[in-house]
Structure 1
């Protein structure tokens, strides 16, 4: 299976926080899942922890390389820029990643949030999301139990799969 591409300074294990979530489900394809991830204004429809998605400079609603956008999640207003965007193709996974940031000084949080959507043998799809975080808020999130990043991202994955299944039905 494929892995996330990490930019310098964001390799898991070298930042204050890291979250990794994955689902593998039958009966869906990467092409069926992709629009629910790639079209950011759809996120709040299936993931309650996202809100107020907007774009800068007339971009959107679909993410694209270099797109600047903003949204709210985990109580943070996040500014973000897409750093990787490759829709799934036959034999190749879809990839989308963004650098996100919020706050200033001691409240500054920087993240690299990446997604991989790939078809697997047997009519299955794998959706992997991983995020590394830097800054004092990341330290707090890393020590919080239950882990809000792991739980929140699992909700995002579960909602993504459910939305794709509803659309297919």
Structure 2
């Protein structure tokens, strides 16, 4: 199975917080899931922890390499830019990742690398992996929170994504 490609400064284990969520399901393909993930204005329809998505520079409605966008999640207003983008191709995992940031002071600045990998496995199975690393004081607080809001929130995102793909 494929794994996430980490940029320098965001490798798990060397950041202030890390979360990893994964599902493997049957009955779906990458083509079923990709449009729901690649179109941020659809996120709030299946993931309640996402709101007010918009694009910068006249881009959108779909993500693409280098595109800047905005959304709100976990109480943070997140500016983001797509840093990895591999749409579905037969025999290759689909990938999307963005660098996101919020805050402007050492006390409230949060930087994240949020990556997604979608790949078709043998036996008609589909693997969806999402991992995020975070740097900054808010990340340190999130890492200590129990229950872990990042793990739980991203699992909700995965579960909602799968349910939405099944209902299309």
Q: TM-score if structure 1 supplies the norm length?
A: 0.98
Q: Deviations over 1:55-86 (max 9, x none)?
A: 00110110000000000000000000000111
Distance 2:117 2:102 in 1: 24
Question: Which has the larger displacement, 82-91 or 147-156?
Answer: 82-91
Q: What's the C-alpha RMSD, in Å, of the aligned pairs?
A: 0.4
In the TM superposition, structure 1's runs of 4+ consecutive aligned residues that sit over 4 Å from their partners are: none
- Equivalence for 1:3: 3
| Matches of 1:41 and 1:160, distance apart in 2 | 13
Aligned length: 167
- Deviations, residues 77-99 of structure 1 (Å, cap 9, x unaligned): 00000001111111101000000
Unaligned runs of 5+ in 1: none
CA drift at 1:104? 1.4
What is the rounded CA distance, in whole Å, between the counterparts of 1:73 and 1:14 in structure 2?
23
Shift of 1:31: 1.0
Match of 1:69 in 2: 69
Q: Distance in 1 between matches of 2:11 and 2:160?
A: 27
Correspondence for 1:155: 156
The separation in 1 between residues aligned to 2:91 and 2:40, in whole angstroms, is: 25
Aligned to 1:124: 125
Whole-angstrom distance in 2 between the partners of 1:3 and 1:101: 23
Match of 1:39 in 2: 39
> C-alpha offsets along residues 111-133 of structure 1, whole Å, 9 cap, x if unaligned?
00000000011111000000000
Partner SS, residue 122 of structure 1: helix
Q: Deviations over 1:41-66 (max 9, x none)?
A: 10000000000000001101100000
- TM-score by length of structure 2 reads 0.99
Q: Which runs of 5+ in 2 are unaligned?
A: none
SS at match of 1:111: strand
CA positional deviation for 1:166: 0.2
1:165 is matched with 166
